[in-house]
């Protein structure tokens, strides 16, 4: 019996060691697989959440300008004493399509106060021509919703002249003009207004974002004759302002 016992003892020990080794190895694999499963699940959840967020952003409509009435205005230029920096730009000189001949302060008419800016133009009525005046000044207009100007042509001026506002914005001096021109009515003041709020469609090929109005470099006003009418005479501009 002692010999049999001494024979089986090493065999039992070997069996136990093998069993323990297999058990431990198997548990390790299961643990590793479990960890990998958790990590894969987390990655999948994160990817799904990211996809849902991206999809949600795509579905969010772009901002739209407020439809509330303008209740507060700030006048930047009223021409009561001088031109305040407004001029016919040098780049327009010598170009046949730009027909502004002179710009002065005038007491002929005014929408507010006693003076306005008088721009003499000479539109031949045979092709597109425009009289343009501008000011170069750094302005942060982001607290405001609209930019406006009042424009007057005499009673004897022909029907068909139009006007629009133009802004130059940002570090790249981007030239941004209104998407439509506003008709001028002889003998009446016409108000030209454009929204500068994010989402505005008042500008050609540009939809303003939050930074659009933060860095305005120039404001320009352009009086246009699109082949007709022919007109040689004054155009009066006053009360250039912003509102909110």
Condensed to tens digits (0 to 9), the pLDDT of residues 191-204 reads: 999 999 999 999 99
Query: Which tokens in the block code for residue 56?
Result: 């949600």
Residue spans of the domains in the chain: they are: 1-60, 73-243
Bridge partners of 148, per DSSP, are 193, 241
Q: pLDDT tens for residues 148-165?
A: 999 999 999 999 999 999
**Nearest of 112, 98, 179 to residue 152 by alpha carbon:** 112
Q: Angle CA(211)–CA(198)–CA(146) in degrees, nearest 5?
A: 95
- Per-residue pLDDT band for 8 (boundaries 50, 70, 90) equals very low
When pLDDT is averaged across residues 125-141 and rounded to a whole number, the result is 98
- Per-residue pLDDT band for 63 (boundaries 50, 70, 90) equals confident
H/E element, 165: strand 162-169
Bridge partners of 241, per DSSP, are 75, 148
Q: How far apart are the first and last CA of the chain?
A: 108
Q: What is the pTM of this model?
A: 0.75
Query: Which tokens in the block code for residue 84?
Result: 């305040």
Query: Which tokens in the block code for residue 96?
Result: 């046949």
Q: pLDDT tens for residues 209-218?
A: 999 999 999 9
Task: Pick the more confident residue, 7 or 112.
Answer: 112
Give the whole-angstrom CA distance, residue 157 versus residue 89. Answer: 25
Task: Pick the more confident residue, 68 or 230.
Answer: 230
Q: What is the CATH number of domain 73-243?
A: 2.60.120.260
The pLDDT of residue 42 is above 60: no
């305005």: which residue's tokens?
216
**Which pLDDT does position 13 carry in this prediction?**
53
3-class DSSP state of 18: helix
When pLDDT is averaged across residues 38-57 and rounded to a whole number, the result is 50
**CB burial class (10 A; 0-12, 13-18, 19+) of residue 125?**
middle
When pLDDT is averaged across residues 55-68 and rounded to a whole number, the result is 68
- Per-residue pLDDT band for 37 (boundaries 50, 70, 90) equals low
């Amino acid at each position: 019996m002692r010999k049999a016992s001494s024979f089986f003892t090493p065999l039992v020990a070997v069996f136990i060691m093998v069993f323990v080794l297999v058990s431990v190895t198997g548990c390790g694999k299961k643990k590793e697989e479990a960890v990998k499963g958790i990590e894969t699940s987390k990655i999948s959840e994160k990817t799904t959440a990211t996809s849902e967020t991206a999809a949600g952003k795509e579905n969010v409509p772009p901002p739209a300008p407020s439809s509330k009435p303008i209740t507060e205005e700030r006048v930047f230029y009223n021409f009561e004493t001088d031109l305040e920096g407004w001029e016919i730009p040098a780049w327009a000189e010598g170009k046949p399509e730009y027909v502004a001949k002179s710009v002065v302060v005038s007491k002929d008419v005014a929408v507010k106060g006693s003076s306005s800016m008088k721009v003499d133009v000479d539109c031949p009525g045979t092709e597109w021509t425009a009289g343009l005046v501008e000011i170069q000044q750094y302005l942060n207009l982001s607290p405001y919703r609209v930019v406006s100007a009042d424009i007057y042509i005499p009673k004897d001026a022909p029907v068909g002249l139009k006007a629009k506002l133009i802004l130059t914005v940002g570090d790249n001096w981007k030239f941004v003009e209104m998407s439509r021109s506003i008709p001028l009515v002889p003998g009446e003041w016409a108000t030209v207004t454009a929204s500068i709020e994010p989402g505005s469609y008042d500008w050609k090929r540009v939809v303003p974002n939050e930074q659009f109005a933060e860095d305005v470099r120039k404001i320009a006003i352009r009086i246009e004759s699109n082949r007709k009418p022919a007109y040689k005479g004054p155009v009066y501009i006053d009360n250039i302002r912003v509102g909110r």
